[in-house]
Chains A and B, each alone.
Chain A
Amino acid sequence: MTRTLTAALAATTMLTGAAMAQDTMIIGITQNNVGVDSYQTTYEQAFIAAAEANDAVETVVLDAGGDVARQIAQMEDLIQQQVDAIIIWPTNGEAVIPAVRKASQADIPVIVTNSNIAEQGQDFIASFSGPDNITQGQRAAEIMCDKFKADGIETEAKIVQISGQPGYTTAIERAQGFEERLPEVCPDVELMETQPGDWNREKSQQVMEAFLTKYDDIDGVYAGDDNMGVGALNAAKAAGRAGDITFVGATNFAVGYDAMAAGEYWGSIYQSPVDDAEAALQTAIDVLNGEDVPKLNYFDTPKITQDNMQEFDKPVF
C-alpha cells in the first residue's frame, strides 16, 4: 500500500519534473556560512541576482551556517526535491564527499564552488568552480618576497602569519601555498609563527597585538584574507609600528583596498565573490546543457598591490 503510494507520488513528481525541466532548470545551492563575512553574503546576493537575470533558471538557496551536519541534510533535501543540479560550497572538504556521491548516484550533477572537496570525491563531481587557493597562497608569498627585495631586506626579514578559521579548506590551502612558496622565492625570510584569526577582524587584531609584544622585529604579516589583514594593521597602527611592516592579505576586501590606497597596506589577491558566484552558476548551467566543462574551473585571482591597484575596481564588499 505504502509502496504503491510512494511509487505513484514518485511517478507524478517525475512527470512534472520532466515537464518542468524543458523550460526551466532548478539549481540548488548549499552555502557554507552566509552572513559570517561580506564575501559570503555578496556571493549569495550575486548568485541570486544572476539566477534571476536568467529566465531559464530557478534556484533553491540554502545556508549550512558552517555546520557540516546541516549541510549534509541540505544535500539530502536537495536530492529529495529532485533539483536538476546542486552547487555546494563545502563546510568541510572531506565530510561532504558521501553526500556528493549520493547526489551523483541520483544522477544529479554536483558543482563544487569556492573551496574544493578532497581527492576522493573528485569522481562524483561534475566540476569545481572557484579560486585556486594554493596558487593564491603562492602568489601572496611572491608579493611579500618582491616587496622585501625592493626594500632590500630579503635576507633578514621576519614575518608572521594569521591564518583563517582552523579546519577550513580555504584557510589550509592558502597557508599551505604560502608556506611552500616562500622558501622557494625568499629562502632567508623567516616565518616566526602562525596563529589563526578565524576570518575575524577582531580576533586577528588580538593575535597581532600579542605578536607585537612578543617580537620586537616584525617585517611582514601574511593574513589569510584582508579582513584579518586589516585587523592586524589596526593593531600595528595602535602600537605605532605599522610603518615598519609589510601587510599582505588575500581576497581583497573594500577595507583592504582603502588601506592600500592610503599606503598602509601593501598587497593582496583580487578575488571577486561576484565572479565566484557567477562562475559557479554558469558552470552548473553549462553542465546541464551538456557542454564540456573542465573538471577544475578556476577563475583568475590576480595579484593586487599598491603599484597596480588602479587597474582594479574597489571591491563592493
Chain B
Amino acid sequence: MSQSTPQPIASPVEADTPPRKSRSALFVQGAIWGFVVLELIFFSVAGRFLSVSDTAFLDLDNMLLLLKQSAPIGIIALGMTIIMINGNIDLSVGATFALSAIVLLDSMTWPFMAAMGDWAIPLAWLFALGTGVVLGAINGLIVWKTGVDAFIVTLGSMLGYRGLVFMYNGEQPTSHLNWTLVDFAEAQFLGLHTATWFLLGTVLVLWLVMTRTVHGRNAYAIGNNREAAVNAGIRVGPHFLINFMLIGFLAALSAVVFYSESGSVNPNDGMLYELWAITAVVLGGTKLSGGYGSIISTLGGVIAIQLLRKGLGYIGADTETVNLVIGLILIAVLFLDRQLNRKGSEELKI
C-alpha cells in the first residue's frame, strides 16, 4: 500500500483581500458591461442615420447625463440587489420612494422648519430618510416576525404605503420648490452631477458592505443557504431587518436626490419603480433565488436600461417600440444567461 504523505497546502496569505471571483463568475458578471458597450456602439452608429440631433450619442456630456439619469432607479436597484442576495424581494420601494418624497417636501413647509430658512434642508432630508428607514423596518419586522414570504409582505405594503401616500395629501401633489435645494441638486462637482455623486457613493459604500463586512458576507450566506446560516448561529431575522431598513433608506435617498431637484411629488410617482429596479438587478446577473450577485453588476444593469431608453429616444423610436424592445431584451438576456450557464449534454433532464 502506498501511503501518500499528507501535504498540507497552505495558500499564500496575501494582503487583506476579499475572496476572488471564479472565472465563470467574472465572465457572467462582465457580460452586462459587454451589453452596455454593445448598446453604445449600436446607438452611436444608428444615431448617425436616424437621429435628427447634431450632437453625437457618445458625447461626454451625454454620458455624464446618463449617469445622472440612472440615479433614481439606480440607487433603489442597488438596495434591491442586497435584498435579493439576502433571498428576499421588495415590491414596496416605489411607494416608499413617494412617501419619503412627500415628507421631504412637506416638512419644509412646517412652521418651525420654515422659520429655519435653508437650515431646514438637512433636517428635511433627515426626516425623509427616517421615513424610508421606518417603512423598511415595518417590512423587515413583518417578514422576520410573521415568517410570511417577503414577496407577499411587500406586495401588500406596496398597496398599503401607496394608500398612505394618498392619505397624506389626498390626490393633490405635494410641492415645495426651494431654489437653494434645486441649485445644490443641479450642481456639478468635478464634472459629475450631484445625483451621480450620490449614485457612485452608494455603489462604493454598498460594494464595501457586501464584500468586506461581516454583515455583507452573512447576507450572502443567508440567501445562499438559509438553514446553514441558521445552524451556524447567524441570526437571520436581524439581518433581514437591517437590509429592509437599508433598502427603505436607499429608496428615501433616491427620493431625496430626485425631489430636491424637482420639488413636487404626485401621489402616483414611483409606481413601477420596483419592477424596473428588479429588472436592473436581474440584468446584472443577481440570482432571484438569492446568495449570488454583485453591486457593480447591478450598476451595469441600471446603466444598460437607462442607455436603452435614452438611445431609443435618440434614434426616434416610438412608444410601442420602446415597450416591445425593453420587454424582449429582458427575456433575451435571461435566455442568454441560461445558455451560458448550461452544463451541456451531461445535464440531468429534469
Chains A and B directly touch (beta carbon < 8 Å) = yes
Cα distance A91–B266 in the bound complex, in angstroms:
9
Are A60 and B52 neighbours in the complex by a CB distance under 8 Å? yes
Let me know if B55 is at the binding interface, CB within 8 A: yes
Are B54 and A94 neighbours in the complex by a CB distance under 8 Å? no
Let me know if A285 is at the binding interface, CB within 8 A: no
Are B61 and A166 neighbours in the complex by a CB distance under 8 Å? no
A270 CB → nearest B CB, Å: 26
Contacts of A67 on B, CB cut-off 8 Å?
Answer: 269, 272
Let me know if A293 is at the binding interface, CB within 8 A: no
Q: Using CB atoms, name the residue of chain B closest to A96.
A: B262
With A62-B313, A102-B186, A166-B166: A80-B62 Cβ-Cβ less than 8 Å: yes
Are B52 and A95 neighbours in the complex by a CB distance under 8 Å? no
Question: Contact flags (1/0) for A48-65 with B, using CB distance below 8 Å?
Answer: 000000000011111101
How many residues of B are in contact with the other chain, CB < 8 A? 46
B47 CB → nearest A CB, Å: 10
With A77-B310, A99-B262, A166-B166: A120-B53 Cβ-Cβ less than 8 Å: no
Are B261 and A98 neighbours in the complex by a CB distance under 8 Å? yes
Partner of B319, one of A34, A93, A171, A172: A34
Cα distance A83–B54 in the bound complex, in angstroms:
9
- Which of B6-14, B124-132, B168-176, B203-211 binds A? B168-176
Cα distance A289–B266 in the bound complex, in angstroms:
36
Are B60 and A92 neighbours in the complex by a CB distance under 8 Å? no
Let me know if A230 is at the binding interface, CB within 8 A: no
With A6-B60, A167-B266: A73-B55 Cβ-Cβ less than 8 Å: no
Contacting residues of chain B (287-343) with chain A, CB-CB under 8 angstroms: 306, 309-310, 313-314, 316, 318-320, 322
Are A98 and B60 neighbours in the complex by a CB distance under 8 Å? no
Contacts of A196 on B, CB cut-off 8 Å?
Answer: 171
Let me know if B56 is at the binding interface, CB within 8 A: yes
Are A61 and B55 neighbours in the complex by a CB distance under 8 Å? no
Most buried by A among B175, B186, B319: B319
Let me know if B182 is at the binding interface, CB within 8 A: yes
Contacts of B53 on A, CB cut-off 8 Å?
Answer: 26, 60, 81-83
Partner of B186, one of A20, A82, A93, A98: A98
Are B177 and A74 neighbours in the complex by a CB distance under 8 Å? no
Cα distance A96–B53 in the bound complex, in angstroms:
23
Contacting residues of chain B (256-305) with chain A, CB-CB under 8 angstroms: 258-259, 261-269, 272
Cα distance A196–B266 in the bound complex, in angstroms:
14
Let me know if A22 is at the binding interface, CB within 8 A: no
A266 CB → nearest B CB, Å: 26
Task: List residues of chain B with CB under 8 Å of any chain A CB.
Answer: 52-56, 59-62, 65, 68-69, 72-73, 166, 170-173, 175, 177, 182, 185-186, 258-259, 261-269, 272, 306, 309-310, 313-314, 316, 318-320, 322
Sample of 4 further A-B pairs with CB below 8 A, known A67-B272, A98-B185: A60-B53, A69-B258, A80-B55, A97-B263
Give 7 nearest A-B pairs by CB, closest first.
Answer: A166-B171, A94-B264, A167-B266, A95-B262, A81-B53, A95-B264, A73-B69
